[in-house]
A and B are shown apart, each in its own frame.
Chain A
Amino acid sequence: MAALDVSTVSHSYGARRALNDVSFQIAPASFTVLLGLNGAGKTTLFSLISHLYDTRHGSIRIFGHDIRRAPGEALRRLGIVFQARTLDLDLSVYQNLSYHASLHGIGRAEARRRIDAVMETVEMSGKLHDKARSLSGGQMRRVEIARALLHQPHLLLLDEATVGLDVQSRAGILANIRRLVATEGISVFWATHLIDEVGDGDHVVVLSNGNLVAKGYVAEVVAATGAKTIGEAFAKLSGKTPAAGEEPLP
C-alpha cells in the first residue's frame, strides 16, 4: 500500500490552473522530495493533501484512506509542517504541543510522555517551557516538527521547512528528518525549491507551473533529461535556474 497516492489531481484558483492532472505515489518509509520553483503548485498540493482545500478533481489517499471520504482516518496518519509559522506565540512550547496532542485525542499523561520524546528527537528538550515567541526561527521549526510527530504519523509533509534558516539549522533539520525515515520508518514528503537538499538516493517529484514534469529516483530523472546533475535536470525541467540555498549545505 502506498504511503501517499495522488491520482489525476487538478486544482484551479478561478481561471488560473494551479495543478494540472498530477499523479504520483510515495512508498512507505521513503524520503521523497517535491521539487518546484515558487509558484509551481507545491503549497496547493500540500493544502489538498492536508484537506485544507477540497480535492474536487482526482483523488488523494493516505495509506489507503481517501482524504475526501475519510478525512479523519487519513489525517490521523499525517503529520504536517507548513511553510508559514503556525505556533501560537503567546503560549509556551509545552502548551503548543499539549494543544496539538489534544487535537489528536491524546490524553495528558500520554501526551506528556510523547512531548518529552519528540522534543528529545528534535534536540529541544531544554526549551519545553519557553514561550514560543522567544525561540529563533530554526528552533520554532524544530518545535513544529516535534508537533507534527506527536501523534505518531506514518507520513510527514514538510512544506519548505528550511526556508529562511541559516545553513546549520537547515542541515540539522534535514539530517533529523532523514534519520526519522531510517529509524522510525516514517515516509517523508519534503517540498523545497533548494536543490542542495536533494540526496542522491532520494525519490523526486518535480512540479513546474502546476504540471508534474518528472518523477522517479534522482538517477532516473537525471538520466531521462540527459543532464549531469539533479540541479541541471531541474533547470531543464522547470526552464529556470534553481536556487541552491542561501548557503550550500555541507
Chain B
Amino acid sequence: MTMPLPMETNGSGTLPLKAPAFGLANYLICLKGVLVREGLRFLHQRERFISSLVRPLLWLFIFAAGFRQVLGVSIIPPYKTYVLYEVYITPGLCGMILLFSGMQSSLSMVYDREMGNMRTLLISPFPRWFLLVSKLLAGVTVSIAQVYVFLAVAWFWGVKAPPLGYLMVLPALFLGGLMLCSLGLLLSSMIRQLENFAGVMNFVIFPMYFASPALYPLWRIQESSPLLHKICLANPFTYVVELIRFAFYGQIDWMSLGVVAGFTVLFLGGAIIAYDPSRGLMTRKQDTGGNA
C-alpha cells in the first residue's frame, strides 16, 4: 500500500479518474482523524468526563471505606499480603470505567445514527471494517485516558499500585477496553432508538459489573451462591477485571488474556458483520423503516 501524499489532483478540482489506491499513509490519516474527532467530542462534553470520574471515585471514597471493615479479603493471587479493600476494588473500578465508557461509545454511535452524523463515517471510501476499528480505537483511547485520571486521583487518596504496575496495566486496559468497546459497537447495531439505551444499562452494564470479581473475590461469591459463581465465570467482564488486577503486579493471567482476546474477536467480528450493508443487521433494519 503506497501512495504519494498529498493526493494528486488533475488541476480541475476533481480527483483523477484513475486515482491510485489508498496507501498506508492514507489509512493512518483516517485513523488519526477519527481519534481526533472522538477526543474533541469528549473534551466538548465536560459533563461526560466528570461523570465518568465521579462514578468510580464515589465507589472508592464511600463504598470502599464503608465495606473495608465488613468485607475481609484473604491473600489471593496476585496479592502477596493482605490488601486494603480500596486496593482490591481498584482494578474493578478501572474495569467499570472501561465498561461504562464502552457503552457510552455505543450510545454515541446510536446518537450519531439518529442525528445523521454516522452517515459521514459510513460513506467514507475506506473499508467499513477499518472505519469501525478506527472508531473502536478512538473509544478505547478515550477510556484509557479516563482510567489514568482516576488512578491519579486514587494515588492521592493513598491507593497505590507498584510504580511499574501503572505501565504494565496499559496493555490490559487496552485489551479490556477493546473488548468492551466492541461489545458496545455490536449493541449499537442492535439498538434502534436512543431511548432503548436504558435497557442496555439494566440488562448489560449492571449485570456484567455486579456478577464479576470487581467488588468481591470469586471465592466469596462461591461460598454464598454457587449459581452466581458460575454466572460470574461465564461473564467476560470477570476476565477483564482479573487481567487488569494481575497486570498491576506485573503478572499475566493467561486464562483471562485468552478469554478477553477471544471475546474481543467475537464482539468485533459481530459488529463488523452487523455494520456491513450487504450482510448485517443494518440491512435488515432497512426493511422495517426509513424515509422513502
Contacts and interface: CB of A to CB of B under 8 A. Distances in A.
A-B CB proximity, top 9 nearest: A102-B33, A105-B26, A110-B6, A103-B124, A84-B116, A75-B125, A72-B125, A184-B13, A54-B277
A83 B115 CA distance: 12
25 contacts: A12-B287, A13-B290, A43-B292, A47-B286, A47-B290, A50-B123, A52-B119, A71-B125, A72-B126, A74-B125, A76-B15, A77-B15, A77-B17, A85-B116, A86-B120, A87-B117, A98-B33, A99-B36, A99-B120, A103-B30, A103-B33, A105-B22, A105-B29, A185-B12, A186-B14
Contacts of A40: 292
Contacts of A151: 15
Given A44-B291, A103-B34, A186-B13, 8 more contacts: A12-B287, A75-B124, A86-B119, A87-B117, A102-B29, A102-B30, A102-B36, A152-B15
Contact of B34 (A18, A39, A102, A154): A102
B196 interface: no
Contact of A153 (B5, B15, B116, B124): B15
A95 interface: yes
B66 interface: no
Nearest to A16: B292
B2 interface: no
A185 B12 CA distance: 8
Interface in B48-76: none
B14 A103 contact: no
B41 interface: yes
A76 B292 contact: no
Contacts of B117: 86-88
B27 interface: yes
Chain B interface, >50% SS class: loop
B25 to A, nearest CB: 7
Interface string A100-127: 1111111111100000000000000000
Contacts of B13: 149, 152, 183-184, 186
A113 B25 CA distance: 18
B37 A152 contact: no
Interface of B: 5-7, 9, 12-15, 17, 19, 22, 25-27, 29-30, 32-34, 36-37, 40-41, 44-45, 115-117, 119-127, 131, 277-278, 283, 286-292
B292 A13 contact: yes
Contacts of B121: 103
A53 B277 contact: yes
B6 A52 contact: no
Nearest to A147: B120
B288 A14 contact: yes
Contacts of B12: 184-185
A80 B123 contact: yes
Contacts of B119: 50, 52, 80, 82, 86
B120 A52 contact: no
Contacts of A43: 290-292
Contact of A52 (B25, B29, B277): B277
A81 to B, nearest CB: 11
Contacts of B116: 82, 84-86
A138 interface: no
Given A52-B277, A103-B120, A153-B14, A109 B6 contact: yes
Contacts of A183: 13
Contacts of A246: none
Contact of B30 (A52, A77, A84, A105): A105
Interface in A28-80: 39-44, 47, 50-54, 63, 68, 71-78, 80
Interface string A145-184: 0000101111000000000000000000000000000011
